[in-house]
Amino acid sequence: MKLYNYFRSSAAFRTRIAFNLKGVQCETVDVDLRAAASDQQKPEYHAVNPQGLVPALVIEDTTVAQSLAIIEYLDEVYPEPPLMPRSPVNRARVRAMALAVACDMHPLNNLRVLNYLRSPLGHDEETVNAWYRHWIAVGFSGLEQEARRATGDGRHMFGTSITIADIYIVPQMYNARRFKCDLEPYPTLRAVCAHLEALPAFAKAVPEAQPNAT
């Protein structure tokens, strides 16, 4: 397997956490998203992933895009430790929390969206940052309520063990800090992340721990 990865990508960060939790080694290929390189827009990368986004996982001669598809694939092929609860209703609740990040928050604040706000739309950095912080606040407000109801110990988004919901909240929290969002209103999310970030599988996946981090 080969993971197309970028150290600062929060979607790739999710897959790195999952690989670490499963204890599975994977070859990685860097896709430099910085403007000067923009590797994600090059034909060579589109031949691998026509969506032009990272991560992408190549399994033999097949590419799987989308972090959730990659993580669920890993969970099916390497079942231990499980990243989803057993019961269908609990699985649905965990998936819903992960999707709140993946579908409702992250796409609004993705690099290409922020770049489009800058050019051609002509917004300055202050406006772009205000946009970013607004969508973090909207998403985190809902997730804070959900996590309060679903956590079993104040250290996990759902129940008392690591699930996909935990894998999604940590990179989003990392980015929210990077963009200096106000995190005071989300004590449950902060406590969950503080616990998870200290675990080796999460700590080894952070952008600054990657070999190509600059």
10 interacts with ligand GSH by CB under 6 A: yes
11 interacts with ligand GSH by CB under 6 A: yes
Least distance CB 26 / ligand GSH (angstroms):
15
Look at residues 196, 134, 186, 141 and name the one whose alpha carbon lies nearest to residue 165: 196
Residue with smaller CB distance to ligand GSH, 14 or 188: 14
| Identified binder of ligand GSH from the candidate list 67, 109, 172, 210, rule CB under 6 A | 67
172 interacts with ligand GSH by CB under 6 A: no
Residue with smaller CB distance to ligand GSH, 102 or 157: 102
Residue with smaller CB distance to ligand GSH, 51 or 160: 51
Phi, then psi, of 80 in degrees rounded to 5: -110, 135
Q: Which stretch binds ligand GSH (CB under 6 A): 65-73, 92-100, 117-125, 159-167?
A: 65-73
Look at residues 19, 3, 103 and name the one whose alpha carbon lies nearest to residue 54: 3
Least distance CB 73 / ligand GSH (angstroms):
12
Compute how many residues bind ligand GSH; rule: CB under 6 A.
15
> Do the Cβ atoms of 120 and 199 come closer than 8 Å?
no
185 prior amide bond cis, ω within 30:
no
User: Residues 87-120, buried b or exposed e (16+ Cβ, 10 A)?
Assistant: eeeeeebbbebbebbbeebbebbebeebeebeee
CA Rg, the chain, in Å? 17
| Identified binder of ligand GSH from the candidate list 3, 17, 18, 33, rule CB under 6 A | 33
User: Residues 164-175, buried b or exposed e (16+ Cβ, 10 A)?
Assistant: bbbbbbbbbbbb
Q: Which stretch binds ligand GSH (CB under 6 A): 8-16, 83-91, 92-100, 190-198?
A: 8-16
Query: Which residue's structure tokens are 């952070």?
Result: 206
Phi, then psi, of 76 in degrees rounded to 5: -75, -40
The pattern of x and - marking residues 103 through 142 that bind ligand GSH according to CB under 6 A reads -------xxx------------------------------
Binding site for ligand GSH (CB under 6 A): 9-11, 33, 40, 53-55, 66-68, 102, 110-112
